[in-house]
Structure 1
Amino acid sequence: MHVISTDENQVFAAVQEWNQNDTYNLYISDTRGVYFTLALENVKSSRRLEGNVMIDLYEVAGIKGMFLANKKIDNQVKTFITYNKGRDWRLLQAPDTDLRGNPVRCLLPYCSLHLHLKVSENPYTSGNIASRDTAPSIIVASGNIGTELSDNDISMFVSSDAGNTWRQVNNVKHSLECQMKGRLSFDEGRSWSKYSFTSTPLFVDGVLGEPGEETLIMTVFGHFSHRSEWQLVKVDYKSIFDRRCAEEDYRPWQLHSQGEACIMGAKRIYRKRKSEKKCMQGKYAGAMASEPCVCTEADFDCDYGYERHTNGQCLPAFWYNPSSLSKDCSFGQSYLNSTGYRKVVSNNCTDGVREQYTAKPQQCPGKAPRGLRIITSDGKLTAEQGHNVTLMVQLEEGDVQRMIIQVDFGDGIAVSYVNLSSTEDGIKHVYQNVGIFRVTVQVANSLGLDSTVLYLHVTCPLEHVHLSLPFVTTKNKEVNATAVLWPSQVGTLTYIWWFGNNTEPLVTLEGSITFTFSVEGMNTITVQVSAGNTILQDTKTIAVYERFQSLRLSFSPNLDEYNPDIPEWRRDVSRVIKRALVEATSISSKHILVAVLSGLPTSAELFILPYHGTTGENKRTAEDLEQISEILIHKLNQNLVQFELKPGVRVLVHVAHLSAAPLVDLTPSHSGSAMLMLLSVVFVGLAVFVIYKFKRKIPGINVYAQMQNEKDQEMVSPVSQRESMPNVPQSELMSPEQLVDEKLDTRPIGK
């Protein structure tokens, strides 16, 4: 928005709507500057080199309410003029003859005069149009005659009667200072005289006038050639005039618009210097006499919310409810009921239809509340746990002073107010828990009631996401993945799951999913958690094989002294242990995967993998895995596997107890859940030990394989946030489009 003027307690503003690129709409306000009405649509704009936006609107000096504007119509720019602050606009009538006296065939509205309305930002140069308070009837501008404004065939035009008629004074493209270069006119451009200011032709760059409207001194600056320095020429017009103008040198001139003398509710008569008198302007220049006119419909514009129809009447716009003006009105008071019209600001008309068109005082009616709304002060549907949220109650109509307002925040707290004015600054509330809260507002008076609901999402900032996932799994076995959050209670979340190189993610509202892998190899899983404007993610890699074996490892107690129990340390130590196993056993590193588990005492899971090449050759059988396991067990039992943690600190690696399944790595913040998991593993391990005691010669080995005639072993899934998790095969996972169509599960609100 650009403010054009703020004269006479009224704002003239240009606003660019959503569907406009190089045009603006002109709006004019009431005397309070609160309510605006449309004055003119699609006014042309341009952007200067400095980035400033210039609106093609020009206010004529010396005549209040008179403007010129360039409007874009069907990709053509045309010049319009108004004498009553935008209430009425019309095209400019082209001159009857050209410079040579030949008739100009230009018929309205197909052909008219168009002017360039750009005003210079440089105080030393003039623009394309000029007018002065001391010469209210004279306008000098550059433009062209035709169907639209053009940069070709530009001429200079002068109006001596405030834009009613125009004369062409030059057919060469000149700025105003160029006209001062060597030609002068004393009769409003009807005739020109040549004057020589310099002995050598001067290229004029700018003109600077002395302060004051009656100055007769002008400084012209320019250069004799493109390579010469600037030259300053001071021109004093005193020698041209031999006297100041007296009263008899002036004649009365009445302002009019196409013959209509009543403009802005008055007949205004100005004093103009007679064109044949060659004298300096005196104190009589611009002096004016004014006589009020009887008010007519032309003195009134459409009021706020009303639009002028083809029949000339101002009727309510489709979006406006005239009764809304009384919504702040209490029973027993009065308000001004608009007739759909308002007198143009600064209009001086009297009597006539003024009483008919002026707003009438009316008693405030008793109304039941209607159009109740509740929104947050920032317009969002979210709030942060533990912080103030401001709720705004809005009502289209109703007796605001005689009603009771009840607000239920949905968290067990409710408040009441005796009138709507007490809630003007908003209703503040602090939610102590996260969730979706149903905020209910009810407004009632003796005539009725209204209610509305707002569903507010209260969240707290999400700080960390950890993807809980087994390190290794068997092919075609169900695997559970869980996104563990910190803090655990955040609010409404969306989970986006990415599997390997898939280009389309899985979107869920639950933080845990179950899936299967049908192909052996390394697979990457990424989970992104969206909480409001925050998105965090974690990525894990899981190895998938048809069969593998695992072994639990323990360490000498001195390792616990240096265990900070953080993921980064566990990853580094896992690599060190793997390197120590490879050095002690000469087994290829491709067959070994080590994962240090969280918590104390320090322990790790050793996975023996059936690695094979991409061609499938040299694939390890179950017997091969057992042979590798025997070698590892033998070296570990002989204390041959050790590593140096730091100078002077050596750590021994031992065989621990039997593990029932590959375990998962949890963050330190969830070590309590990890301990519960470990306890469950101990009980499962004892049961498996009894079974395997009679089936395996080598103690401490857990074999994972897909058995044809046996019940498949069950993997120990990571700790879940819910007691039961969805069991969804990978082939049945929903796509984002399917998720939108799926009916959401009902969950408690505000809990």
Structure 2
Amino acid sequence: MMIGVSVQALSCPVLSCPVLCSPVLSCPVLSCPVLSCPVLCSPVLSCPVLSCPAKPHVSVVLYVCVGVGLFPWLPMELLVVSSTTVTMTSASVAVEQRVRSVPLYSSVDFGRKWQLVHEAVTPNRFYWSVTGLDVESDFIHLEVNAADGRAQYVTCRAQSCSEANRHYPFSGYIETNSLVVQDDYMFIQVTSAGRAWYYVSYKREPFARIKLPKYSLPKDMHIISTDEGQVFAAVQEWNQNDTYNIYISDPQGIHFTLALENVRASRGLGGNSMIDLYEVAGIKGMLIANRKLENQVKTYVTYNKGRDWRLLQAPTTDLEGNSIHCVLPFCSLHLQLQMSENPYLSGSIITKSSAPGVIVATGNIGSELSYNNVGMFISSDAGNSWRQIFEEEHNVWFLDKGGALLAVKQPTVPTRHLWVSFDEGRQWDRHSFSMVPLFVDGVLVEPGIDNQIMTFFGHFSHRSEWQLIKIDYKSLFSKRCTDGDYQTWHLHNQGEPCVMGQKQIYMKRRPASSCMLGPGYSRVLSSEPCICRAHDFEW
């Protein structure tokens, strides 16, 4: 079946150069010999951004088209706090692969005018105010670098951040790249006598030293989440190289207890630590982790924030319906938990808060995690049972608030087809979206209550121009869903209905219905507290 598509093969005959297209904005991205420089796309406005040779002492300068002026900046990160207020980090000096500090600019008229906030901010270490904790809406938290290379924690208002208006909530110097501001918490790291010490501020109170168990000698810490008034942290001990231990805190984030040891870690493309711990969206307290023991990596799941962990039950049949003999604990399902470093590809595991209980992941069945003989698996009941949906790796996205699934083969293989499922992966319908096989570099599912548009971008060959394909998938649905198209589902953990102290009932679309979810659709039908039992208490 060929669904309605709009294909744009972009070109630039006047400039005699190929034209690419931004996956975020309808803004041309040019690469022009006439200009002798690549042209990128502004993350703020729909206008070209040129990357051109500049003065001899400046290796790269980007000119961002803002209003009627041109500003020589290299945008590194953009943060929008409201419809008009924007901050941007930029480099106006020679750019290296690893930039230690950059100027930070702020705009209150969406990019028409820019004001310097601070001249030396650590990239990716600036945060907007948190509602209910910081008084002013334009209050910002910064990690800044002094002339001697040491870092400090600074706060100020974005439009009035002169030295006289700056505040220093922590009196001393902090470790570079350590400031984290998240929900009710703020975190920093201090190194003293060769040992790392970690501090937390709860609800903007004075910083207190984090207390790990006495036997812990940490050399690295990552904040995983701060949901539900607790902190999940990954800590690498002095004797660990490719694993981390997972700890959970008290409400203040000071006292931590061990939740799981030896969770596997690897290095991303940028050298950052990638920890195999995945927080399932839409199910409070549910996490999936890959644990390394005796040179074997196995996948475990918890439904109570790490108090209890168990292996995943493998599917009972394969794609052909043949029985699979896989008995716990000798054999189980193992999942790859890497998040995609390309924001327009889904990664090896995907969940969505508007589709609680649905988990799609790449994995294998056996005694340990393997990257051979992998397939795609899905759970419709929050990991209690699993089914195989593909023999090959695919990228999968949620459509229609999670009511439908879209699957496309990995970008290493060109394809003309996409697959759509309306019954949580039990049946897949194939649709053609291109007359010629396309290497799919990414898919953007555009948000909006009544917006059923997805955009493919890719190329026919490694020498061809990029292609932009917009698909309106509204025609795939037969109608709007009505009450008769839904059924109820009870969240449980191997039959236990109390999960994180709640009995929760969700509303799902019936597998046979190919209807579109309405704008007022809500997944949670009811939620009520459970009666506490002996194992719910700490002794």
With structure 2 as the length reference, what TM-score do the two structures score? 0.55
Name 2:535's counterpart in structure 1: 298
Following the alignment from structure 2 to structure 1, what is the Cα–Cα distance between the partners of residues 328 and 471?
Answer: 42
Deviations 1:218-272 (A, max 9, x none): 1111111121111111111111113221222111110001111111112111111
CA distance in 2, matches of 1:169, 1:86: 29
Q: How does 1:579-728 map to 2 (within 5 A)?
A: none
| Partner Cα separation in structure 1 for residue 372 and residue 312 of structure 2 | 18
Candidates 280, 284, 288, aligned match of 2:521: 284
Unaligned runs of 5+ in 2: 1-220, 398-405, 409-416
The residue aligned with 2:457 is 221
CA contact (8 A) 1:79 1:149 kept: yes
| 3-state SS of 1:195 partner | strand
Q: CA deviation at 1:4?
A: 0.3
Does the C-alpha gap of structure 1 residues 129 and 106 become closer, same or farther in structure 2, counting only changes over 3 Å?
same
Kindly provide the amino acid, as one letter, of the partner of residue 465 in structure 2.
Answer: E
Name the counterpart of 1:136: 356
**In the superposition, relative to structure 1, how do residues 239 and 288 fare at CA in structure 2: closer, same or farther (>3 Å)?**
same
**Conservation of the 8 A alpha-carbon contact between 1:242 and 1:279:** yes
Task: Name 2:431's counterpart in structure 1.
Answer: 195
Alignment of 1:147-296 (within 5 A): 147-176=367-396, 179-180=407-408, 181-212=417-448, 215-282=451-518, 283-296=520-533
1:96 maps to what in 2? Answer: 316
8 Å CA contact 2:490, 2:497 repeated in 1? yes
**Which amino acid counterpart does residue 182 of structure 1 have in structure 2?**
L
CA RMSD for the aligned pairs? 1.5
Displacement of 1:281 in angstroms is 1.7
The match for 1:410 is: none
What corresponds to 2:264 in structure 1?
44
Corresponding residue number in structure 2 for 1:15: 235
CA-CA distance at 1:44 after TM superposition: 0.5
Rounded Cα–Cα distance in structure 2 between residues aligned with 1:297 and 1:264:
14
Hey, what's the Cα distance between the residues in 1 that align with 2:449 and 2:225?
Answer: 22
1:201 counterpart letter in structure 2? P
1:42 Cα shift?
0.4
Per-residue deviation, residues 171-210 of structure 1 (Å, max 9, x unmatched): 1133337923422111111111111111111111111111
Single out whichever of 121-130 and 171-180 deviates more from structure 2.
Answer: 171-180
Displacement of 1:19 after TM fit?
Answer: 1.2
Displacement of 1:59 after TM fit?
Answer: 0.8
- 1:315-342: per-residue Cα shift (whole Å, max 9, x none)? xxxxxxxxxxxxxxxxxxxxxxxxxx2x
Counterpart among 297, 303, 307 of residue 77 in structure 1: 297
**Cα deviation, residue 214, structure 1:** 6.5
Corresponding residue for residue 374 of structure 1? none
Structure 1 window deviating more from structure 2 (270-279 vs 119-128): it is: 119-128
In structure 1, distance between residues paired with 2:257 and 2:359: 28
Larger proportion of helix: 1
Q: In structure 2, do the counterparts of structure 1 residues 227 and 218 end up closer, same or farther at CA, with 3 Å as the change threshold? A: same
1:27–1:268 distance in 2 versus 1, CA, 3 Å:
same
Partners of 2:338 and 2:240 in 1: how far apart? 20
How far apart, in 2, do the equivalents of 1:157 and 1:252 lie?
A: 23
Structure 1: which 4+ aligned runs deviate by more than 6 Å? Answer: none
Contact conserved, 1:209 with 1:215, CA < 8 A, in 2?
no
Shift of 1:213: 7.0
Contact 1:218 1:235 in 2 (8 A): yes
Superposed, which structure 2 residues align to 1:382-401 within 5 Å?
none
What code does the residue aligned with 1:297 have? A
Over 3 Å counting, the alpha-carbon distance change for 1:59 and 1:33 in structure 2 is same
Shift of 1:286: 1.0
User: Structure 2: how far apart are the matches of 1:128 and 1:57?
Assistant: 12
Q: Structure 2: which amino acid aligns with 1:210?
A: E
- For the 8 Å contact 2:246–2:259, the answer to whether it is kept is yes
Secondary structure, counterpart of 1:182 in structure 2: strand
Q: Name the CA shift for 1:5/1:272 in 2 (closer, same or farther; >3 Å).
A: same
Task: Kindly indicate whether the alpha-carbon contact (under 8 Å) linking 2:315 and 2:324 is maintained by their aligned counterparts in 1.
Answer: yes
**Against the structure 1 CA distance between its residues 26 and 214, is the aligned structure 2 distance closer, same or farther, given a 3 Å change threshold?**
farther
Specify the SS of the correspondent of 2:489: strand
Q: How do 1:356-375 and structure 2 match up within 5 A?
A: none
Q: Which has the larger radius of gyration?
A: 1
For residues 6-28 of structure 1, the C-alpha deviation after alignment (integer angstroms, 9 at most, x for no partner) is: 12221110000111110000000
Select which of 306, 327, 352 maps to 1:86: 306
1: CA distance between counterparts of 2:332 and 2:486? 32
Q: Say yes or no: does 1:146 pair with 2:348.
A: no
C-alpha deviations, 1:98-148, integer Å up to 9, x for none? 001110010000000000111113221211111111110111111000011
How far is 1:212 from its partner? 4.0
Q: Quick check: 161-170 or 235-244, which moved more?
A: 235-244
Residues 213/112 of structure 1: CA separation in 2 closer, same or farther (3 Å cut): farther
Paired with 1:99 and 1:298, the residues of 2 have a C-alpha distance of 40
| Candidates 247, 250, 264, aligned match of 1:30 | 250
Q: Which has the higher contact order (CA 8 A, sep 6+)?
A: 2
Contact 1:255-1:268 within 8 A present in 2 as well: yes
The answer to whether the 8 A contact 1:133-1:286 is kept is no
Q: Is contact 2:488-2:506 (8 Å) kept?
A: yes
SS in 2 for 1:32: coil
User: Residues of 1 paired with 2:448 and 2:237: CA distance?
Assistant: 40
| Matched pairs, number | 302
Measured in 1, the distance between the counterparts of 2:287 and 2:498 equals 17
Q: Which AA in structure 1 matches 2:535?
A: A
Q: Is the 8 Å Cα contact of residues 504 and 524 (structure 2) preserved in structure 1?
A: no
Higher strand share: 2
- Equivalent in the alignment of 1:105: 325
- Check if 1:122 corresponds to 2:342: yes
- One-letter identity of the residue aligned with 1:251: Q
Match of 1:294, as an amino acid?
Answer: I
Q: Residue in 1 aligned with 2:197?
A: none
What residue in structure 1 maps to residue 23 of structure 2? none
Equivalent residue of 2:228, what SS?
helix
| Alpha carbons 1:134, 1:213 under 8 Å: kept | no
Contact 1:162 1:255 in 2 (8 A): yes
Shift of 1:290: 1.2
| 1:264–1:299 contact (8 Å) kept in structure 2 | no
**Residue type at the aligned position of 1:145:** I
Task: Tell me what 1:66 maps to.
Answer: 286
Q: Structure 2 counterpart of 1:288, which letter?
A: L
- Listed one character per residue, the Cα deviations across residues 357-406 of structure 1 (whole Å, up to 9, x for unaligned) are 5xxxxxxxxxxxxxxxxxxxxxxxxxxxxxxxxxxxxxxxxxxxxxxxxx
